[in-house]
Structure 1
Amino acid sequence: MIRKIGNEWWTAPTESDENGRTVIVTGRRGVEAAMESGKYRIRVEITWRYQGDSTGMPDKPTSMLMEAVQEALTKVFDRDPVAILTGVYTGDDRRDWVFYVTSTHIFERKINEALAPFDLLPITIYTENDPDWAEYREMREATELTATDE
């Protein structure tokens, strides 16, 4: 059994690799026990591309819908922690949610449960084996020093 996963977050601005636009990164603290457990070996990235404003940020209605989606995902995975949301990237005309999961099959069932109340969403899902949590470690190293706590 894994100790309780933390629910403290940091937020920091960074720049897009493609064009230097600002991307707001929100990362989760307190995931070390899950990381060390070896159970969460697969990284899943959910990407939502949107038509941003001149700075690449979403308009208010899109932002509100993305927040509702995130709340639905969080609610499902808090009840059944087969996936841990570790990072959220917003900017450069896209939002990315990064999860570490125990099983893509169970994750698929749970994400369908979470998103059932919503109309068709413009999301894509990418998975990759990442047993060392390389993406999380890179995000944390690149942003946590300039972060503000939420």
Structure 2
Amino acid sequence: MKLGDVWFSAIAEAENSDRMIVVSGRTEIEPFIQSGKFKERVEITWKYEADSKGMPNETTGKLMEEVQTVLKQAMEKDKLAIFTGIYTGDGERTWVFYTRNIPAFGRMLNETLAPFETLPLTIYTEKDPEWNEYREMCELQDQDNDDEDLDE
């Protein structure tokens, strides 16, 4: 299975405020879903001091991009996990991965982030063999496409 790197972007509304959340979701990963090997979802959330629009400042944003790049490379190198989504806004960024093995994911996470100073991250894991969170995220892409159709 070859892992592509095609993403979509969409806008969602934060649950507890009227701020927008920028959502980036990976497409063309159906073979990985169908393999049945990636049954555990891991969400890594970074809370930050938000600007007036709920976004991180430039320095924090750059550090987040750096962390995201090394995490993606490390987790996908041997297909330990598939990086599927990014949610940014309302004072937090969440990265979503689907993994084969939570303990191995945790070890790789610690190893990968060791060169960085301690980051304000929280980790949440859940069994999600049906990829429900991913499918819900993909519905945002369809909604955005529907909105574009209305604009034409």
Please indicate the TM-score interval, normalised by the length of the shorter structure: over 0.9
1:61 aligns to what?
Answer: 59
Scaled by the length of structure 1, the TM-score of the pair is 0.93
Runs of 5+ in structure 2 lacking a partner? none
When normalised by structure 2's length, the TM-score is 0.92
**Which has the higher mean CA deviation after the structures are superposed, 81-90 or 4-13?**
4-13
Deviates more, 1:3-12 or 1:98-107: 3-12
Structure number, greater radius of gyration:
2
**Counterparts of 2:112 and 2:9, CA distance in 1:** 25
The structure showing larger relative contact order (alpha-carbon pairs under 8 Å, at least 6 residues apart) is: 1
Secondary structure at 1:132 match in 2? coil
More displaced stretch, 7-16 vs 121-130: 7-16
2:144 to 139, 143, 146: 146
Structure 2 residue aligned with 1:96: 94
Distance of 2:139 and 2:21 partners within structure 1 = 16
- Which of 3, 9, 12 is the equivalent residue of 2:10? 12
Q: How many residues align?
A: 146
The residue identity in structure 2 corresponding to 1:65 is: L
Runs of 4+ in 1 over 3 A off after TM superposition: none
Q: Deviations over 1:74-118 (max 9, x none)?
A: 111231211111000000000000000000011011111211110
**Equivalent position of 2:115 in the other structure:** 117
The answer as to whether partners of 1:49 and 1:122 remain within 8 angstroms in 2 is: yes
- Give the root-mean-square deviation of aligned CA atoms: 1.4
In structure 2, what is the Cα distance between the partners aligned to 1:106 and 1:138?
A: 26
